[in-house]
Every structure is written in C-alpha cells, then in structure tokens.
Chain A
Amino acid sequence: MSAVSRSSHLSQPSHVAFDEVSHQFEDIEQQREAYVVGMWAFLVTEIMFFGAVFLIYTVYRTLNHAAFYEAHKQLDIGLGTLNTFILLTSSLTMALAVHWAQVRNRRAQIMALTSTLGLAGAFIVVKAIEYSHKFAHHLFPGGNFVYPDASIADQARLFFSLYFGATGLHALHVVVGMLVIGAMLTRALRDRDARADYIPVEMTGLYWHFVDIVWIFLFPLLYLIPR
C-alpha cells in the first residue's frame, strides 16, 4: 500500500558532461523518446504550416491553370533540378551524420555535418541566383511588377506571389537548419571524447529531412506544371 520509489534523479553520476538525464526524466531512454515525440509534434505544426501554403497554391493553380502554366516557364528548371539534387544529397549526409553520432564515430560525424552545411549553403546560393534573376526581370510581386504578357499579368502576379511566398518560407527554414547544423558541428568539435548523446543530432536530422520533404513537393508543383 505504500508508494514506492522507482529511481531518483539525484543519484545520477554528476561527472558525465554529456549524455546526462534532465531532472524531470527517469532515465535516458525516457528522455530520448520524449525528445523524439516532441520533435514530431513540432513537425506536425510545420506540416500544417506548409500544408496551408500548398492548399492556397492548389486552389489558385486549379482556378488559373493556363496562366500558371505560362508563368511557370519563367522559372529556371535547370536550377530547380540542381537544387533538388543538392537538397536530397544533403539529406543523405545528414542521415549519415546521425548514424555516425549513434556509433560515436566523431571524425565521420564531423565530416558528414560539414558536408550537410556546405550543401545547404549551396542551395541558398542557387536560390539567391534564381531570385536575383526574377528581381532583374521585375517578376517580384511588389510595386514594380511587370509581366510581358499583359493579358495574364494578374494571374502571373498571383503565381509569383505564391512562388516567392512558398520558396521564401522554405529558404528561411533552410537558413534556420544551417544554424542548427552549425551548432551541432560546434558541439561535435568540442566533444573530444565522443561522449555526447546522439539525440540532438537525430532531432536536427528530423528537422532537416522535413525541410527536404517540403522541397520534394515544391519542386514539381512550381517547376513542373503540365500544360
């Protein structure tokens, strides 16, 4: 009839710098799964966030299909494909970084994180080149938007609003991802004895793969509109 104590957080060894269990958790496994479930709950919010963008896009593309088809020809499909390739590859290197964090191969983990960071940077550079072309051609839907074919200028404006809105939000997520990956890299560089828990890297990976998934859908929706 008496309450029994399962384990006490106060008995955790205090000399372990990493791999430590926060006081509110019973053990490392509970903590790990809590973080993974929490990350997934966060990703659910991200799914709904981008999902609403996709919904808006779907509605307007269905209503103005012909105009969207014409407008999408202004996009550079080569650069879009290149960016898809870059981002998919960065997902691979991120997955490998998690793998090497799990098996505590510090050198390989640092290499994989660096590659991921480099690929993410490359993605942003390509995106910037694309954006600068659009700005140069007055295709940014601000004050001086000019579309060559005046008869569909309004719908084209809508297309480019959605293009800049969706890819801009995605690029923002890429930049945030780069900051987090950079933090993971710093953490790995400092962790000379490779004792750090892999879960932070795993969570970074989950986030990064989600960013990849968003692009997986954005690419055909924006760049590959059928006639």
Chain B
Amino acid sequence: MHGSQHSHVIPIAVYLRSFVALMALLVLTIAASHVPLGTGVSSALAFTIALIKAVIVVLYFMHVRYGTRLVWVWSAVGFFWLIIMFAITLSDYVFRSIVRVQGWQ
C-alpha cells in the first residue's frame, strides 16, 4: 500500500548479478543435458533449473521481491493454479496407464 515501496529503485548491480546467474544456469542446463542421468532425473533437473531461472526473473527483473503483498499474491496465483491444473489432469493419465479396470474403457 505504501508508495515508497513501489518507487523503489533497484541498484543496477542487482540486475547484473541476476543476469550472471541466469547465464550460469543456461550453461549448467546445457551441460547437464549431456550427462546421462536417466529420463526422469534429467527431465526433473532441466525443469528445476528452468524454475530457478524463472524465479530469478520474477523476483528481481519483475521487482516482486520489492513489491507489496498484493503483488506477491497475484504473481503467485497463476503458477499455483497451473500446479492444480497439471496435477489433476496428469493424475487421469497416470491412472489410465497403470490401472486397468474390467469393463471400463
């Protein structure tokens, strides 16, 4: 609610540090893709790195770290809802492939 938080000017150093971190993670994700860890682990690793990159962008480039609580909530709600959509839809596919019921399907 306070204006001072909104006009908060973030030092350029923060942006530069974020950028360096993003670049390091980009190198890391490409390097990791060459390491044979198995489908599951590799996919999870690539996703985790992407998630970290996204969080850096949201917190620093998009100023959510310095935002009001309202901005915090609205920046989180979309991602939270995606989890719901993914979890419920994918659960159908998981059960469809592992549980076969007589007379169903």
Contact = CB atoms under 8 A, between A and B. Distances in A.
Interface in A72-110: 77, 81, 84-85, 88-89, 91-92, 94-96, 99, 102-103
B74 A216 contact: no
Contacts of B82: 47-48, 51, 54-55
B70 to A, nearest CB: 6
Contacts of B61: 91-92, 94-95, 205, 209, 212
B7 A102 contact: yes
Interface residues of chain A: helix, strand, loop or mixed (majority): helix
B6 A226 contact: no
Given A213-B54, A224-B30, A92 B85 contact: no
Interface stretch (A58-66, A175-183, A185-193): A58-66
Interface in B29-62: 29-30, 33, 36-39, 42-43, 46-47, 49-50, 53-54, 57-58, 60-62
A226 B16 CA distance: 31
A91 B26 CA distance: 14
A216 B57 contact: yes
Contacts of B39: 65, 226-227
Nearest to B8: A102
A125 interface: no
Interface of B: 1, 3, 6-7, 9-10, 12, 15-16, 18-19, 22-23, 26, 29-30, 33, 36-39, 42-43, 46-47, 49-50, 53-54, 57-58, 60-63, 67-68, 70-71, 74-75, 77-79, 81-82, 85-86, 89-90, 93
In the A-B complex, list the 4 residue pairs whose CB atoms are closest, starting with the nearest. A226-B42, A47-B78, A29-B3, A44-B78
